[in-house]
Amino acid sequence: MAGIDVAIVGATGAVGDLMRQVLLERKFPVRSIRFLASAKSAGKTVEFAGKRYPVEPLRPEAFEGVQIVLSSTPSAVSREYSPLAARAGAIVIDNSSAWRMDPDCPLVVPEVNAAQLQHIRKGIVANPNCVAIPLCVALKPLHDRWRVKRVVVATYQSSSGKGAKGLADFEAQLQAWVRGEPIPPPTAHRGQLAGNVLTLDWTLDTNGFTEEENKVIQETKKILGDAEIGVCATCVRVPVRVAHSEAVTVEFHQQPSVDEARAALRQAPGIRLLDERQGEVPQPIHAAGTDWTYVGRVRSDPSHPHSLCLWLVADNLRKGAATNAVQCAEELLRRGIVSPRP
């Protein structure tokens, strides 16, 4: 059967594992598949479509014959290996932050700017930040109608944003906190997360914002294709296992309508609009394990006639990472950029 030759880099990590799962769920036409990871993971096996595959060490020769690479590694690893995969003839969909602001690498959310996949100059497609993806999914239908002028966003980000180590760290803290025992020192998070929130769970940059906040600021402008949009972000880690939430205030160039905004959001791809008038409010427990961006609490901003306020939630590991990457791969096929092999 015709299909695509695929490789997953970082195959034993939390996002790499989900990439494998999402490929199967979405029935992506895989002709062959390789699982690549660091030397310490080499020799392990993973299951895909009822068959066990060895995890191979990450090396340049592993990309021979591969058409699409789904990569989720630290940025330093990506800077070394993603160009090697591209030179071997593959298109790399890279989940690290290494290539997101490179002008020659499209930063793609398929529901928002899939047309940018026609301009892959380096052979690398950047998968955006896990906050910026659902934020732009929600902003896109509103931006099309009234053009976004400014966005102020406060995030409520789950422990799984730190990967499997973050979840293990949080779980150990939570169990001790529930039992009234001394909280073990953090190993992945930068402080106690159980019964607490952390505003500095990321590296602080020289401008006073964290690296996470700066990613949201810069990437939102690039994804929406408007460098003039003002963005201010405050990113916070909260004691939730999976799914990030965002409180968003959006100022437009024209005066918006709440009813029209709800209608636009209801019809937009990738969005599930919930109506608080019927007791429906997006929560992390709704989003976890799904690929939807849940939006609700849509209302006028009483402090500014051109602004709306809204609340959104999405699974940071799926739509915020693995699913968005697989959707990009699907778009590469749909647009004829990559063709199935017999």
CA distance 339 to 332: 8
Angle, alpha carbons 242-247-253 (nearest 5°): 135
Radius of gyration of the chain (CA): 20
DSSP string, 93-146: EE-SSTTTT-TTS-B--HHHHGGGGG--SSSEEE---TTHHHHHHHHHHHHHHH
**Does residue 119 have an active-site annotation?**
no
Helix spans in the chain (H): 14-25, 75-87, 110-113, 132-146, 163-179, 211-224, 258-267, 284-287, 323-334
Q: Which of 105, 130, 235, 309 is catalytic?
A: 130
Backbone phi, psi, residue 16, to 5°: -60, -40
Backbone phi, psi, residue 245, to 5°: -115, 155
**Does residue 130 have an active-site annotation?**
yes
CA distance 232 to 103: 22
Handedness of CA 98, 100, 105, 108 (dihedral sign): positive
Return the closest-CA partner of residue 95 out of 317, 253, 338.
317
CA distance 288 to 15: 14
CA distance 165 to 30: 30
CA distance 182 to 64: 52
Q: Which of 143, 244, 309, 328 is catalytic?
A: 244
Residues labelled as active-site residues: 130, 244
